[in-house]
Structure 1
Amino acid sequence: MRTREDVLDWLSSLLAFGVKPGLERMQAMLLELQIDPDAIPTIHVAGTNGKGSTVAFLREMGIAEGLQIGTFTSPYIIQFEERIMLNGVPIAEDELVAAAIAVQAAIGHIDPALGTVTEFEALTGLAFYYFDQIRPDFVIYEVGLGGLYDSTNVFKKPFAAIITSIGHDHQAILGDTLQEIALQKFGIIKQGTPVIAGKLQEELTVPLMAYCGDRN
Structure 2
Amino acid sequence: MIHSFTFSPFQENTYVIADETTNEAVIIDPGCYEQIEKETLWRFIETHKLTVKYLLLTHAHLDHVFGVAYVKRKFGVKAYLNQLDMVIYNDVASRCALFGLRGYEPSEIDEFIQEGDQFLFGNTVLDTLFVPGHAPGHVAFVNHAEHYVVGGDVLFRGSVGRTDLPYCSYSDLMSSIRTKLYTLPDDYTVYPGHMAPTTIGREKQTNPYVKL
Q: Give TM-score, length-normalised by structure 2.
A: 0.34
Structure 1 or 2: larger strand share? Answer: 2
Whichever of the two has the greater Rg, that structure is: 1
